[in-house]
Structure 1
């Protein structure tokens, strides 16, 4: 397919703007997640991409990998932890943020390499998972959490996800978090009071 100089210039300029916009977005979002997590007395534990592998290593040509792996921040998850000691306490908490910038990608990725040109529009989401011990126990919170399942019921419904953990999944339009993170924090706190 041949394109003109003007069309190619417009394309590469759009990609440049998209990268700058993405960098600015993360410069705002990552501190907002951290601030909310700190307000709940949790500390950063780890992050990973929820859908993708990390970009190809230094000696692997990226074109040989799944192209979406070059965008690991399109579907990241961030896990924060409040743990008062080596054993689980009722006051412990695992807080997980899952950012779904393109929920259509989540479904399409199960069928191979999605074509970004034909994907349907979808509303970006923020999923928040809260996990806490059902009782004081000798087990380690991290180990128990890693063995737990995700809550699968209706958003906002408390579920038992392991023998010693309860959890709740909350779902918000990402635009709501961007506009008013304080309202999201209030909702999270209201669910923590029900535990």
Structure 2
């Protein structure tokens, strides 16, 4: 079945729109990360699908979703100088979770989810969540493979106690449309830091300081 010329023009416009969106998300995350001097980039992971294929893997045998990495993805940051295989009490993992569409892809499996069955985009949301995972006592564990990969996120303002490890977590979610400038982004980080202090007793003096615009 041929693809109409008018549809291809829409595709070109859509790719340019996605580029602009992803550039903006990357800028937001970089601004947020700059506020946490105590942490450095650790790793990232797409959610509910594979990351883009490596050079030796044929992407034509994968899902089309795998080529849209910022649709849903998490970016993890660890304490500077920490031993990733032997967590120490007081260390904490910082996560930025980008959820470009609040659709649950698992609802449309098995098989590759068909976006034509998702329903109205006006009825879903786009958010960035900030998550903290705090180790409360020394333990032999890996942040990514042992803790993050097998734990769910906290809900609401609740503290999540990880079942198999001495780790507690909190999460704060923000609509992406509200993160429209640098003061709004810094205010979001300020709110998150207040949550860390109240729920996890994290008040790290090496976190970058700034005057909240609120």
**Shift of residue 185 of structure 1?**
0.8
1:83·1:93 contact (CA, 8 Å) conserved in 2?
no
The residue number in structure 1 matching 2:16 is 20
TM-score (norm 2): 0.74
Would the alpha carbon gap of residues 102 and 88 (structure 1) be closer, same or farther in structure 2, given more than 3 Å must change?
Answer: same
Match of 2:64 among 56, 63, 67: 67
- Cα offset, 1:79, TM superposition: 0.6
Hey, what does 1:78 align to over in structure 2? 75
Relative to structure 1, the CA distance from residue 102 to residue 163 in structure 2 (aligned partners, 3 Å threshold; closer, same or farther) is same
User: Could you give the per-residue CA deviations for residues 102-148 of structure 1, whole angstroms, max 9, x where no partner exists?
Assistant: 2215344434222222312211122322111224x3x46x7156422
Q: CA deviation at 1:168?
A: 0.8
Among 45, 49, 52, the alignment partner of 1:52 is 49
Q: Shift of residue 188 of structure 1?
A: 0.8
The change in CA–CA distance for 1:151 and 1:119 in structure 2 (over 3 A counts) is closer
- In structure 1, the partner of 2:166 is 164
Gaps of 5+ in 2: 201-214
Superposition pairs of residues 96-175 of structure 1, within 5 angstroms: 96-120=95-119, 121=121, 122-135=124-137, 137=138, 139=139, 143-144=142-143, 146-148=145-147, 149-161=150-162, 162-175=164-177
CA drift of 1:81 comes to: 1.5
Distance 1:153 1:21 in 2: 32
> Which structure shows the bigger proportion of residues in helix conformation?
1
Larger RCO of the pair (alpha carbons < 8 Å, separation 6+): 2
CA distance in 1, matches of 2:134, 2:174: 21
Q: Provide the aligned C-alpha RMSD in A.
A: 2.6
In structure 1, the gaps of 5 or more residues are none
Cα pair distance change 1:56/1:132, threshold 3 Å: closer
